[in-house]
Structure 1
Amino acid sequence: MINSKKWIEICSEGLTSHEVNAITSIEQNFIDDEKKSSLTVKCKDFKTLYQQTNSIFPWKGYAGFRLADHKNAYEFDLLIFTHCSILVIELKDWHGKISNTNGRWCLNNRDMGKSPVTVTRNKTYLIRNKLQKIKEKFHNKYSNIYVDYLVVMTGKATFTELPEAERNYVMQWENFLKLKDEEEFRKKFGHKDKTSFIDPADLAKEFFKEKTIPPKPYRKSGYIAEEDALFVHPNHLYKEYLAHSEEIKTDLALLRRWDFNQINDNSAKTPDGRYRIVKHEYDVLEYIKIANEDLFNSCLSHKLPPIKEDITAQYTDIFSYSPSNRSFNIFIEQNANKLNKEERLQIVYLLLKKLSNLHKIEIAHRDINYHSIWITDAKKITFSNFISAYYPKKGTIGNIRDILSVSGIKDLAFEYFPITKPTSYVQDIRSATVLAWHIINAKSISPNNIKIFAEEIKTSNDWYADIFREALSEHPFADGKAFFDAFEKKIPKQKYDFTFDESKLDYYKHPYHHNL
């Protein structure tokens, strides 16, 4: 587990990006001092190394992991093994004024939970217990090693209103980085014996002989996320996870975990810009709710409205989610082959009808793809991911749409059926055409399957083929309504009846694995 060549071992699954950035900065801050001590002098033990270099380095760190005993399990942001101690470090990227009310910390008068000083102190008991076992094993080798702890503020937070007993264990980021200076280190922890020198890497190796446990599942507002993401944006702007309520297991949600640091646009670097990105989708959905409530019920909607102060570089949207929903590819891979062609065509019929209704109220989705269409056992179609959508009240999200959209500025058919300056509505129907063919043929969306579609649709004699070819032409249908009307008119009524009948699908209802 311990790599002696690395300063800090990082288990990034247990950390947010701001914590990873902070830990990387810590490593870089101390690296020059490490080089002085470990690269210029070769010694057989750490004490001799100190005598020759007068340096307390190298130290050893381990970040983003969990440890447990028979009673408790704790997450650790950073554990530092120094020449004389083990430091438990909690990182807080907070901005504003911090105060303590009855043992709970408030940030700008908002309750942030139990005091991090108390929480971090409790973590030290587990570390002390593990250290005691090591001391007993090695007798006097680690007898003078002690355990201490700090809460380090990486954001611009003030904590002068905290009780003095807590302030002693809280440090500003800039002051923490000064601990690389031995005098600064001894000012902070100077009550310990200067002659206590151990090799931090040796102690860390012994400490982590027993495996750590994986980071605990991500929690947000009472929902616990599944370990594996259901969808990852191709540029890692966000990840989406299925989640369930801690209290009611059947209460499901979709968590979208934004990483605005991945967005290469200045608007994502400011609170106002991030709020505008998140709120745009909320506003679109609110517009749909007023214009067509039935259509709104066919969309994944926010459980809570976005609050500007909450939208930091790491932010989580929470959407309502029906237990029967399946993302497009998962539904196709798990269920489509069990449906006959008429039943698959009925799903296409409902998809195009929903798109028609969307365009009737002048909403253009502009990112129709496998991540934004959901299908249930009962053949209900649900839309999601209106991040880049156009709507009449405020128009578009702007140029950043090209970055936010999974499809970018192109629709799913563009590579094989290029078109000059299509409208947003036309782009929607072109992507919907690709999805429709994949539904009919029980194929999931992939580059290879889209290539097969492009070849087959050119020569297909199926009754819907002419409609699809027109949708992909240089002179396509104007919008989803015209597309749906043409499709509906072309249906062989004597052969197909798309009247909704849920009971026909009872046979196919069974538990699903959401991640394939």
Structure 2
Amino acid sequence: MDVKYWEGGLTLHEIDAIEKMAEVFGQKKTEVKSEPLASGKPIKLRSFDQLKQLRPESNSMWPWKGYAGFRLIGGRNNEGEFDLIIVTHFSVIIVELKHWNGELTANGDQWYQNGEHRGRSAVSITQDKQYMLREKLRRSGRKFPSFEGNKFNSPRVDFFVVLTGTANGSKLPEKDRKHVLNVNEFLALADEKIFEKMLLPPNVPKRALNLQLNEDFDVFDNIFNDGQTKPKSLLVNGYEAEEKIYPPEGVESVYTEFQAKSKQRKDDKALLRRWDFSKFNDRELKTTEGRYKVVSHEKEVLRL
């Protein structure tokens, strides 16, 4: 899956998750035939390598396209920050990434991680973005060719909160749980049957649906590049990037530095450095372990 990135607003965990999605939703693989167990039940595909093979070599549901790490200005000059938007063959999916570990619980519309307050429900926040994006697409003034002859003229917008750590949504309210998936559960959308079960409206014949939305990538490119987007804010451990201080314009660098301030204390300043590992040719730096070596070494140097 091709992904367009806006520089600056994504953390390493988010980039790793998006790259994994791009691989699963983008490689040409033949479908895995699961051999049934003695009980007659099929084997569940759980590993990343198995999930990569869910995509059939030729299937009308492909290709998909992603847009990652940007802020979008809505029709009422409101803004929404998006980790990832995926345009599929049927709908537009908003993906909110959360690298959380431990236990997730809720009290009303407030979420808690291991008993610590994490603010308003990530599902409610992402649902607000769904409303904003849906309205943005309706009022974009652009026609979606794939809807010609269809009674609808703008895409459906779905959303999921995807957990990339060890946390799961099992203890969240039912209204939240249906929108919360772990990474492997989300990647399983590469299976056409799972996709249809989760996203296609029940009791509606497929012939009545627009299943060629992936023919309209040019329209989405224009919508997301018409001056109404900018990079998502970079937020790390409670510090938000305010101003880029390195590198200067026209200078190539493998990292970008920002002056940042605490979201809790306005007088608390920090320096944020964001590495662009795609500029390294070293294969090891394509892995999480290799990247950690670079970052951890930097911490050791700063302690001296």
Tell me, yes or no, whether TM beats 0.5: yes
Q: Corresponding residue for 2:23?
A: 28
Alpha-carbon distance in 2 for matches of 1:175, 1:244: 35
1:257: how far off?
Answer: 4.9
Deviation per CA, 1:444-464: give whole Å up to 9, x if none.
Answer: xxxxxxxxxxxxxxxxxxxxx
Deviation per CA, 1:152-185: give whole Å up to 9, x if none.
Answer: 1111112211001100001111111110111010
Question: Larger % of helix: which?
Answer: 1
- The answer on whether the counterparts of 1:87 and 1:149 sit within 8 Å (CA) in structure 2 is yes
1:205: how far off?
Answer: 2.7
Matched to 2:260, the amino acid is A
Indicate which of 156, 160, 163 corresponds to 1:153: 163
- The answer on whether the counterparts of 1:153 and 1:170 sit within 8 Å (CA) in structure 2 is yes
Indicate which of 288, 293, 302 corresponds to 1:264: 293
TM-score by length of 2: 0.69
**Counterparts of residues 86-101 of structure 1 (less than 5 Å):** 86-101=92-107
Deviation per CA, 1:11-36: give whole Å up to 9, x if none.
Answer: 24121111111111111112224899
Matched to 1:201, the amino acid is F
Q: Corresponding residue for 1:61?
A: 66
Q: Structure 1's 107 and 57: CA in aligned 2 closer, same or farther, altered over 3 A?
A: same
Which has the bigger relative contact order, CA under 8 A and spacing at least 6?
A: 2
Structure 2: tracts of 5 or more residues without a match: 32-56, 248-252, 276-287
Alpha-carbon distance in 2 for matches of 1:112, 1:257: 24
> What RMSD, in angstroms, separates the aligned Cα atoms of the two structures?
3.7
Matched to 1:56, the amino acid is M
Indicate which of 118, 122, 136 corresponds to 2:124: 118
Larger Rg: 1
Which secondary structure does the structure 2 equivalent of 1:26 belong to? helix
Q: Corresponding residue for 1:243?
A: 260
Alpha-carbon distance in 2 for matches of 1:136, 1:263: 44
- The answer on whether the counterparts of 1:60 and 1:204 sit within 8 Å (CA) in structure 2 is no
Alpha-carbon distance in 1 for matches of 2:170, 2:190: 24
Q: Structure 1's 159 and 246: CA in aligned 2 closer, same or farther, altered over 3 A?
A: closer
1:61: how far off?
Answer: 1.1
Structure 1: tracts of 5 or more residues without a match: 1-5, 37-51, 269-273, 282-366, 368-384, 389-516
- The answer on whether the counterparts of 1:12 and 1:20 sit within 8 Å (CA) in structure 2 is no
Alpha-carbon distance in 1 for matches of 2:141, 2:90: 13
Indicate which of 220, 228, 248 corresponds to 2:244: 228
Alpha-carbon distance in 2 for matches of 1:247, 1:110: 15
Question: Larger % of strand: which?
Answer: 2
Indicate which of 200, 204, 217 corresponds to 1:201: 217
Q: Corresponding residue for 2:34?
A: none
Q: Structure 1's 264 and 184: CA in aligned 2 closer, same or farther, altered over 3 A?
A: same
Q: Structure 1's 133 and 92: CA in aligned 2 closer, same or farther, altered over 3 A?
A: same
Greater Cα shift, 122-131 or 27-36: 27-36
Percent identity over paired residues: 34
Indicate which of 7, 16, 21 corresponds to 2:2: 7
Q: Structure 1's 95 and 255: CA in aligned 2 closer, same or farther, altered over 3 A?
A: same
**Counterparts of residues 439-458 of structure 1 (less than 5 Å):** none
1:218: how far off?
Answer: 3.5
Q: Corresponding residue for 2:279?
A: none
Alpha-carbon distance in 2 for matches of 1:188, 1:31: 20
Matched to 1:242, the amino acid is Q
- The answer on whether the counterparts of 1:124 and 1:148 sit within 8 Å (CA) in structure 2 is yes
- The answer on whether the counterparts of 2:95 and 2:159 sit within 8 Å (CA) in structure 1 is yes
Which secondary structure does the structure 2 equivalent of 1:87 belong to? strand
Which secondary structure does the structure 1 equivalent of 2:15 belong to? helix
Alpha-carbon distance in 2 for matches of 1:55, 1:224: 42
Alpha-carbon distance in 2 for matches of 1:73, 1:128: 13
Matched to 2:26, the amino acid is I
Which secondary structure does the structure 2 equivalent of 1:243 belong to? strand
- The answer on whether the counterparts of 1:34 and 1:58 sit within 8 Å (CA) in structure 2 is no
Which secondary structure does the structure 2 equivalent of 1:123 belong to? helix
Q: Corresponding residue for 1:16?
A: 11
Q: Structure 1's 247 and 56: CA in aligned 2 closer, same or farther, altered over 3 A?
A: closer
- The answer on whether the counterparts of 1:61 and 1:81 sit within 8 Å (CA) in structure 2 is yes
Q: Structure 1's 263 and 229: CA in aligned 2 closer, same or farther, altered over 3 A?
A: farther
Deviation per CA, 1:115-134: give whole Å up to 9, x if none.
Answer: 11011100011211122125
- The answer on whether the counterparts of 2:10 and 2:234 sit within 8 Å (CA) in structure 1 is no
- The answer on whether the counterparts of 1:135 and 1:143 sit within 8 Å (CA) in structure 2 is no
